[in-house]
Structure formats: C-alpha cells, structure tokens
Amino acid sequence: MNDVERIGVADLFRIGIGPSSSHTVGPMFAAKRFAARLAERDVIDQVALLRVDLYGSLAATGRGHGTLSAVLMGLEGRAPETLDLAERDHRLAQIAGGDLLLLNGSHAVAFAADDIVMHPFTRLPGHANGMCFAAEDANGHTLLRLVGYSIGGGAVQWEDSREAGVTTGAESTQDDRGNRDRIHTPNDRYDFHSGAQLLAMCEGGASVSGAMRRLENARGTADVELDERIDRALGVMRDCVESGFSATGVLPGGLNVPRRAAQVRQQLEAAGGYTRELETEWLAAAAMAVSEQNAAGARVVTAPTNGAAGILPSVLFWLEHFSEVSAVELPERRRRLILAATAIGVLCRRRASISGAEVGCQGEVGSACAMAAGGLVDALGGTAEQVENAAEIAIEHHLGLTCDPVGGLVQIPCIERNAVAANTAVVAARLALRGDGSHRVTLDEVLDTMRRTGADMSEKYKETSRGGLAVSVVEC
C-alpha cells in the first residue's frame, strides 16, 4: 500500500500520450529523468555507452505499448505533456535510419530501439514494470545507474533513492518530472487513507470535492493554480473526444482494428442527436473516441491511466449533454467531478493499485469507473456518503477483471471495455443518488478485496499478454 505517497490531481490526471501510462508515459519520464541526472552531475559529455533494460510486463508488452519509442524520446529529454507528435515520428524515423541519439537533447551517442534489452520473464522485486538505465564512459566505468518502476498512471518510483537524488516515503517525495514535493506525513490533518476517514472529514455536509480541494490547498496548491490545472486537463479531454469523433481509418499495431467512434457519432446524429434513448450509445461512443485516440498514440489525459482514459471524458460528455446541469453551472460542476474523482483515485491507489501490471484491469478500468461514478455524484450535488456508495458499486462489479490485451496493444478488449465502464459509472451514480448513501459493503472493503484479488491473480493476467483473450484470439 502506498500509504504515505502524496497523490493529487496532477498525479491522476497527467497530460501525456498514448497508448499506455505505465508503458509509455512512465518510461518516458524515467528516461528523461535519467538523462537529466547525467547532465546535473556534469558527466553527460563522458557518456560513451548507454544500456537500458526493461523487465516483466514492460518487456512482455512494451513493443505494442510504445515503450521503446517512449524511452528513446525520454533519453532525448522530451516530456509526454509537450511532445510534438509529428516531430516524434520524424525523429524516431531518423534514429531508426542510423542517426545518433541526442542524450538530454545535446550529447550524441549511438543508441536505438534495438539496443533496449527485454527481460519479459524477470520481475524485479519492486514492481512488475521494472527499468534499469546505465551509462558508461569510454573506459567502461559506470557514470550512473538507476533502477526505477513505472507504478501506474505515469508515475515512477526509483529504487535507489539516494543515487537518483530522490528520497521517498514519509519524509518527502520527488516525482518523475523532478519536482520536489513538500514535506508530507500520513498525519497530515487534511489527508485521508480510507473511505471511512474521507467520510469523517465530510461529516456535517461537506462535499468530497471540497475535501480534496482542502487537501490540495494544504499541500500548497492555491485555488487558482488548482483550477487552471483541472481546466487544462478538461480541455485536453474535450479535444480528445472531438478528435476521436473525427478520426477514421485503422489503428496502428497490426491487428487491423478499425476506428468506429466517428461512424457511431454520425449514426447517432442521424438518429436524433442527444436524445434520452441514445444516451448509453453516446456514452459508449465518447469513451471509444478517446480510447481510439489513445491506441493511436495521440495526446490524452491519464484518468487515472491511459488504458482507462476514455471513461472520465465520456462521463463529462454525459454531464454536458444529458444532465440537468445548466451551461452556467457546468464549469464548476466539471471541476467538482474531477476533484471528487481524484479523492476516489487516491484511495484506489493507496489501498489497492491503479496498475494493470500489478492487479489486472480491475485496477485500471475498475478504478476509473469508480472515480467517474463518485465524481459524477458529487457534480450532481450528491452527499459524501452517496459518492462513496457510487464508487463502491463501480469497483465491486469490476473485481477480478483481468488484463489480457490482444497482441499487447491497448485495443482489444480495452476500447470497448471503456465504453461499457462509462455506462456502468453513470448507472452506479444513479443508483447511489436514489439512496441515502447507506449500504452494506464499504468502499474500503471493496478496495481491500481488489488488492487481495490482484495478489491472488496469475501473472498471466497482469499486462503480460500471456493469458486470456491475448492467447485465444488469432492476431492476423
């Protein structure tokens, strides 16, 4: 359990690129950090040899998840949030054609995708997504060696914190972008480590979104900065739905999966537009639009991961087109949705996991569904108890869900899974809003069950593509 880890809006809603937060965004951050450390130590000009090893799930499905390209781009000093996608493709073609890699954007060294060493059957002790970066000088002396883990949602944890210049745990943390966090302890009076604690904080009628805002404020993020961050993520999510609704063709990777969101949108518009009868299909279509963009390696927001990135934008789309919320109220309700979703995501990550490589798809799509359901209840004015109830319902019906993407690509079953989970989130929110928040199984109990179920799950079903659909479907 990551009980002392500081998690907030910036961690669960990262602007990045597809197709995978743990396999694309995290490794790119890690490689970028490694290159930056070489520069900070003033040894980058001495680098004659680079070595990158990927372990476990990163090696098993890394090719289909864009990990190799992400590592190359990170080593060149590029970040997922600002990466120009056309420039990326051009630069990768140049490196594949024999150009030297520009370490941290400056020091030329011979290194290409084929030099990355894969260890699919070796799991490092810290996590299923292990990475080792090493640089040597011309005499074979090691200048820097870092071992890190892509722990889900684009976050990276370093094993040798002193070597990385990073301290972890209750004292302080430093994220993969090199930003030092403020001192933070589990006793932080605004923090919560269980659903029960969150509910206790909201006693007297306070909202979950309000509790999350207070926590962010207590950590030093002022309201203006927080709202800007949320609005930026919301803007990228909206753009992603729109671009997914316009894009056509076949998704990359070799499975020949056609994009469908644009066609479904046209059909729904022709059938009457935003009518109540078409509500579930719109939810599915919006989720698919984002998931197809993610599969194509486009700009997306982790919510909380890339594989599950379609669910929250779809529920936000529902809030805009199908709820009673007025246009004037919409901006504030959207922010509430994101804040309450973050609070639920904090609990998912602390009490269980949001990593498919750690607990299977229940941790990705299950967590995203719970975040969307709880966030929607808050945005619609529900109580904290109803938020907790909605999140619990959403998780409960994803327990045991395995991760078995065909061909190691985030396409089958991922795209349709997002479509179905977006609908589940709205149903869970509606059910919770029909009640008074009292229910038999708590969110804490269901999250603890998810963690234990993930521990019991065979490694085959944790983003390795060695079981389930991945071995039942003929790829060509």
User: What residues line the site for ligand SF4 (CB under 6 A)?
Assistant: 307-308, 356, 361, 364-365, 403, 405, 410, 413-414, 417, 463
Euclidean distance between CA atoms 366 and 384, whole angstroms: 20
Helix (H), strand (E) at residue 192: none
Judged by phi (left if over 0) then psi (alpha if -120 to 50, else beta), residue 407 lies in left
Helix (H), strand (E) at residue 176: none
How many of the other CB atoms lie within 10 Å of CB of 83?
A: 17
Write down the least CB distance from residue 405 to ligand SF4, Å.
4
Looking at the Cβ atoms of 135 and 365, the one nearer to ligand SF4 is 365
How many of the other CB atoms lie within 10 Å of CB of 87?
A: 11
How many of the other CB atoms lie within 10 Å of CB of 181?
A: 15
Provide the token pair at 265: 């949108």
Distances (CA, A) of 75 to 78, 111, 113: 7, 10, 11
Residue 221 makes CB contacts below 8 A (sequence gap 6+) with 8, 229
Residue 254 and residue 408 in contact, taking contact as beta carbons nearer than 8 Å: no
Write down the least CB distance from residue 461 to ligand SF4, Å.
9
Looking at the Cβ atoms of 339 and 368, the one nearer to ligand SF4 is 368
Write down the least CB distance from residue 247 to ligand SF4, Å.
19
Q: Measured on CA atoms in the order 180, 69, 306, 227, is the torsion positive or negative? A: positive
Euclidean distance between CA atoms 314 and 321, whole angstroms: 10
Looking at the Cβ atoms of 53 and 463, the one nearer to ligand SF4 is 463
Write down the least CB distance from residue 291 to ligand SF4, Å.
8
Euclidean distance between CA atoms 465 and 456, whole angstroms: 18
Looking at the Cβ atoms of 366 and 382, the one nearer to ligand SF4 is 366
Looking at the Cβ atoms of 300 and 365, the one nearer to ligand SF4 is 365
Looking at the Cβ atoms of 159 and 404, the one nearer to ligand SF4 is 404
**In 3D, which of 401, 393, 456 has the Cα closest to residue 426?**
393
Residue 148 and residue 161 in contact, taking contact as beta carbons nearer than 8 Å: no
Looking at the Cβ atoms of 356 and 382, the one nearer to ligand SF4 is 356
Write down the least CB distance from residue 365 to ligand SF4, Å.
5
Q: Which residue is nearest to ligand SF4 (CB)?
A: 307
**In 3D, which of 37, 8, 38, 12 has the Cα closest to residue 25?**
12
Looking at the Cβ atoms of 385 and 463, the one nearer to ligand SF4 is 463
Write down the least CB distance from residue 173 to ligand SF4, Å.
25
Residue 414 and residue 65 in contact, taking contact as beta carbons nearer than 8 Å: no
Write down the least CB distance from residue 396 to ligand SF4, Å.
17
Looking at the Cβ atoms of 174 and 418, the one nearer to ligand SF4 is 418
Write down the least CB distance from residue 131 to ligand SF4, Å.
18
**In 3D, which of 71, 19, 27, 123 has the Cα closest to residue 460?**
123
Write down the least CB distance from residue 429 to ligand SF4, Å.
21
Distances (CA, A) of 167 to 68, 163, 175, 186: 27, 10, 10, 16
Write down the least CB distance from residue 154 to ligand SF4, Å.
13
**Within its chain, how far is the Cα of 299 from the centroid?**
13
Euclidean distance between CA atoms 148 and 132, whole angstroms: 6
Looking at the Cβ atoms of 156 and 403, the one nearer to ligand SF4 is 403
